[in-house]
Structure 1
Amino acid sequence: MTLARSNSVLLWLVAIGFFMQTLDATIVNTALPTMAAALGESPLRMQSVIVAYSLTMAMVIPASGWIADRFGTRRVYLTAIALFVLSSVLCALAVSLNQLVVARIFQGCGGALLLPVGRLAVLRAFPREQFLKAMSFVAIPGLIGPLVGPTLGGWMVEYVTWHWIFLVNVPVGVVGLLATLRFMSEGPRIDVKRFDVAGYALLAFGMVAVSLTLDGLSWLGLAGAVALLIAGLGSLAAYWWHALRRPDPLFAPELFALRSLRIGLLGNLFSRLGSACMPFLIPLVLQVCLQYSPMQAGMMMLPTVLASMLVKRIATALIQHWGYRRTLVANTCVLAAMIASFALIGPALPLWLLIVQLLVFGATNSMQFTAMNTVTLKDLNAVHASSGNSLLSMVQMLAMGMGVAVSAAVLAGFHDLWGQANPHESLRAFQATFACMGLLTLASAAIFARLDRVENLRPQAEQPVTEA
């Protein structure tokens, strides 16, 4: 087999892994009410299925590069696919929410390694001048996964069983395993530095503790949640102190000397809290309050993804014309208004207006991701590009999990305030939650306002970031 053909197969192989990862991140949302009924849970308490997956990915991503260098890209990629497939089977076999959450944690471990390790294999196989083009090809399944995920999940729930939203990974994963064995090379042996175990433990515990504070209010109680939050913030502060003293930390403190990176990371974290909750809340309210079928609820997410893909074609030109600061401040305000506008959702809302809302939300959300990601990475040099990209990927996954956890906590609070017996009050709780998440997103506009007043589009960092 020629080198060119071998590299072409490698791109398809990495694309398969990326497709599995993005598909599984979206296919679950539409199935949550049906899964809740099968497991004897309330559909409004199923957020842990999503949070466990996103939070685990955020924890594992910082170690993915070191793991690949230490054990070899081919071996780690094989392990990632095998773990993803096995945990998908365990998800399908789960008979309780706790079993499903544990299986999702293992699934998140496999998913966290698929794209970073696959991207590393592509980086080593392709010349620098071809890398961006190669990764653009790999990114296509990342757009297809969210496009088909909600609808496919709704169709499987309605016409087969919810178990198949996980079992669909098995044939795709088997093909990926066979292709990895046949076409992926092990890559050069690399002398790896000693892994920063203490720093990783502090960072991971801090992320988990802060996230569980939001997701665990109902079972921790207020005192327990506050104690866990303090412990999490203390762990993150301890990591910063540890990184200042260590010559080779996971994320070098000098990374944060870049103003654009600091603002980009904070903006990503807080503005994504609002946008990340929407794929969780919208299918839920459509099924629980408006009696949509799972298939109908899944199809209602199509306008969002289609608008997101269309905006990609003009996003760069708009940013070049308006600059980062004006684009992000204005777009964040529009995004916040669109999230809050779903407080109008109800039986009296015309279908065409709901579709318009979803289209505009998808477009503004896509513009937000593109602008935030590029402003975060644009000033990184070659030395810090890989580390900065991993840091951004970690923040993205952390924000996805926290967004779902925050919205679920707000929704539960309104339900406890108004009661859940009356369907009208249940819808009212959803409407209030959309309004609150819109206000939370609006507050993040103040972060982007701190960017330089004149910001022109500069070349992106060496490694493109996945738009999660």
Structure 2
Amino acid sequence: MALQRTFTIPLIVACALFMEQMDSTVISTSLPVLAIDIAVDPISLKLALTSYLVSLAVFIPISGWMADRFGALTIFRSAICVFMLGSILCGVSQSLPEFVAARFFQGIGGAMMVPVGRLVILRSVDKANLVKALSYLTIPAMFGPVLGPPLGGFITTYFHWRWIFFINIPISILGLYLATRFIANARAESVAPLDWVGFLLSALGCSLVMMGLATAGRHLVSGDISLVCVVLGSLSLVAYVWHARRTEHPLIDLKLLKIETLQAGVGGGSLFRLGIGAIPFLLPLMLQLGFGFSAFHSGLLTCASAAGAMFMKTIAAKFLKRYGFRRVMIVNGICGVLSLAAIGLFTPATPYAVILIVLLIGGCFRSLQFTSLNAISYADVDSNRLSQATSIASVAQQLSVGMGVVLGGFALQMSNHLQGHATLVSQDFWPAFLTVAVAASFSIPMLMRLPPDAGAELAGRGPAKASAT
């Protein structure tokens, strides 16, 4: 039974995470060709990435409530079905609005699929084995980013980009079978009423702000409409904060952010992901449009980062046990920022071996940081509040990654404009990578505020710390 909780269940959830990760990396590699096929500016395709992330941010907060109310297995299987249908809709899209809408619908499935699966693990595994269980979860899932870029590049180069969405069908069917066989349909004994007002305010706030920022530059709507979206979205988020402080059962309990480790994991993690989230958008564009590589060639280089990340997952627990969360996250975070900035130094003359080594080592740094941030967030959260904590961490993660895409796209657009280039060229990319690296560096001061013994129980370095209530 202990083996099933620590090993089998994480691997089943990893099936869903594998599908989601592979899907996003496959799309990133195909963006330049996809832009030509549907006749849009490549930078405007940041809408395709952000619409999916907006959908995650909107629906993740109710995923925990739905799992408690209807059962984890019921929601997990339903989410896989929605994700599969969304993939099919993406594959048959004929225009940018259709593709963006299909990605948003696909995101509804992703919003339920991965967070509910993570919640199952958090409730099934004791804290002493949590880091190990999360590593089991992410090792198979990392095959998605490893296989995604070369697979997406191969399909795009030698077949058609539409076929990349149909590979989710057999994976979804496998996930449905494994979930049905091994995951119990556990429900909470008592479930608070859903905060519909909070849901509407947070949904409007997240979606309007993200879409307003993503459409800035008149890629899909006018600048005035983008500005109105940002203003209305910001007001909705402010209204949600006011509402959450005055309702008994808020959709997202912001009071949990008083927990020091959760605050560091969410705040520091969001800033770090803000920079790293731009990589899947900027790197394929640089390699293909800036350096002239084919989609397949670009994919082969891009997967080096994921290969490094997958390797690091196997030894992350040993680093944390020896050095502790705080020291690892500070030193490794600095290395991760520097590796991100180093990508901007690539030129068409840079040897392939150098590109591979930088991406491989950078993937190791980013992987260790994400594993540490994901684990430390739940170090001091008691079991009956894990659903809320998971929602907070997941929403912050998706919004920060989406903002990274927006920031990277804006920096690339400004660099291209200020340098007076008619199309994207290799010189346009280094300012964009420098910008997102600076953004990621702001995570370090937040992590430095953690006490030296933060997450000692998770790292296996000391006795359990009393959970926050």
Q: When the two structures are superposed, what TM-score results if normalisation uses the length of structure 1?
A: 0.88
- Offset at residue 189 of structure 1 (A): 7.6
1:460 aligns with 2:458: yes
- Offset at residue 324 of structure 1 (A): 3.9
After TM superposition, the structure 1 = structure 2 runs for residues 269-284 of structure 1, keeping only pairs within 5 Å, are 269-284=270-285
After TM superposition, the structure 1 = structure 2 runs for residues 311-326 of structure 1, keeping only pairs within 5 Å, are 311-326=312-327
Return closer, same or farther for 1:188/1:272 CA change in 2, 3 Å cut-off: closer
Return closer, same or farther for 1:308/1:139 CA change in 2, 3 Å cut-off: closer
Deviations 1:255-308 (A, max 9, x none): 122223223211111111111111221111111111111111111122211221
- Offset at residue 420 of structure 1 (A): 3.5
Structure 1: gaps of 5 or more residues: 462-468
- Offset at residue 439 of structure 1 (A): 1.8
Return closer, same or farther for 1:160/1:190 CA change in 2, 3 Å cut-off: farther
Give the corresponding residue for 1:39: 38
Give the corresponding residue for 2:367: 366
- Offset at residue 93 of structure 1 (A): 0.5
Match of 1:291, SS state, is coil
1:396 aligns with 2:387: no
Indicate conservation of the 8 Å contact 1:56/1:109, yes or no.
Answer: yes
Deviations 1:150-199 (A, max 9, x none): 11111111222111110111222234445556666544585432100111
In 2, the alpha carbon distance for the partners of 1:444 and 1:254 equals: 21
Give the corresponding residue for 1:94: 93
- Single out whichever of 69-78 and 429-438 deviates more from structure 2: 69-78
1:307 aligned partner, one-letter code: G
- Offset at residue 321 of structure 1 (A): 4.5
- Single out whichever of 345-354 and 223-232 deviates more from structure 2: 223-232
1:114 aligns with 2:113: yes
Structure 2: gaps of 5 or more residues: 460-469
- Offset at residue 58 of structure 1 (A): 1.9
Give the corresponding residue for 1:246: 247
In 2, the alpha carbon distance for the partners of 1:58 and 1:117 equals: 14
- Offset at residue 80 of structure 1 (A): 1.5
- Offset at residue 62 of structure 1 (A): 0.9
Indicate conservation of the 8 Å contact 2:201/2:239, yes or no.
Answer: yes
Indicate conservation of the 8 Å contact 1:20/1:169, yes or no.
Answer: yes
Indicate conservation of the 8 Å contact 2:115/2:390, yes or no.
Answer: no
In 2, the alpha carbon distance for the partners of 1:292 and 1:60 equals: 37
- Offset at residue 448 of structure 1 (A): 2.3
- Offset at residue 376 of structure 1 (A): 2.5
Indicate conservation of the 8 Å contact 1:123/1:131, yes or no.
Answer: no
1:233 aligns with 2:263: no
- Single out whichever of 442-451 and 293-302 deviates more from structure 2: 442-451
- Offset at residue 392 of structure 1 (A): 0.9
- Offset at residue 351 of structure 1 (A): 1.8
1:368 aligned partner, one-letter code: Q
- Offset at residue 51 of structure 1 (A): 1.1
Indicate conservation of the 8 Å contact 1:21/1:114, yes or no.
Answer: no
1:429 aligned partner, one-letter code: D
Deviations 1:60-99 (A, max 9, x none): 1110121223333343233222211111111111011110
1:366 aligned partner, one-letter code: S
In 2, the alpha carbon distance for the partners of 1:198 and 1:339 equals: 40
1:107 aligned partner, one-letter code: Q
1:370 aligned partner, one-letter code: T
1:64 aligns with 2:63: yes
2:50 aligned partner, one-letter code: V
In 1, the alpha carbon distance for the partners of 2:371 and 2:73 equals: 31
Deviations 1:403-425 (A, max 9, x none): 111101111122222234366xx
Aligned residues: 456
In 2, the alpha carbon distance for the partners of 1:406 and 1:277 equals: 7
In 1, the alpha carbon distance for the partners of 2:301 and 2:108 equals: 30
Give the corresponding residue for 2:78: 79
Give the corresponding residue for 1:198: 197
Deviations 1:406-465 (A, max 9, x none): 101111122222234366xx221112111221222223323223333x34542239xxxx
- Single out whichever of 209-218 and 142-151 deviates more from structure 2: 209-218
Give the corresponding residue for 1:266: 267
1:458 aligned partner, one-letter code: A
In 2, the alpha carbon distance for the partners of 1:370 and 1:134 equals: 11
After TM superposition, the structure 1 = structure 2 runs for residues 55-454 of structure 1, keeping only pairs within 5 Å, are 55-120=54-119, 132=130, 136-177=135-176, 186-187=185-186, 190-219=189-218, 224-421=225-422, 426-452=425-451, 454=452
Give the corresponding residue for 1:465: none
Return closer, same or farther for 1:383/1:79 CA change in 2, 3 Å cut-off: closer
RMSD of equivalent CA atoms: 3.0
Indicate conservation of the 8 Å contact 2:46/2:409, yes or no.
Answer: yes
Return closer, same or farther for 1:352/1:121 CA change in 2, 3 Å cut-off: closer
Indicate conservation of the 8 Å contact 1:283/1:297, yes or no.
Answer: yes
Return closer, same or farther for 1:128/1:361 CA change in 2, 3 Å cut-off: closer
Give the corresponding residue for 1:464: none
- Single out whichever of 110-119 and 391-400 deviates more from structure 2: 110-119
In 2, the alpha carbon distance for the partners of 1:93 and 1:258 equals: 45
- Single out whichever of 374-383 and 282-291 deviates more from structure 2: 374-383
In 1, the alpha carbon distance for the partners of 2:305 and 2:235 equals: 38
Return closer, same or farther for 1:142/1:180 CA change in 2, 3 Å cut-off: closer
1:418 aligned partner, one-letter code: Q
Match of 1:307, SS state, is helix
Return closer, same or farther for 1:146/1:221 CA change in 2, 3 Å cut-off: same
- Single out whichever of 274-283 and 375-384 deviates more from structure 2: 375-384
- Offset at residue 115 of structure 1 (A): 2.2
1:411 aligned partner, one-letter code: L
Q: When the two structures are superposed, what TM-score results if normalisation uses the length of structure 2?
A: 0.87
Return closer, same or farther for 1:188/1:214 CA change in 2, 3 Å cut-off: closer
In 2, the alpha carbon distance for the partners of 1:212 and 1:260 equals: 30
In 2, the alpha carbon distance for the partners of 1:77 and 1:385 equals: 17
Return closer, same or farther for 1:76/1:386 CA change in 2, 3 Å cut-off: closer
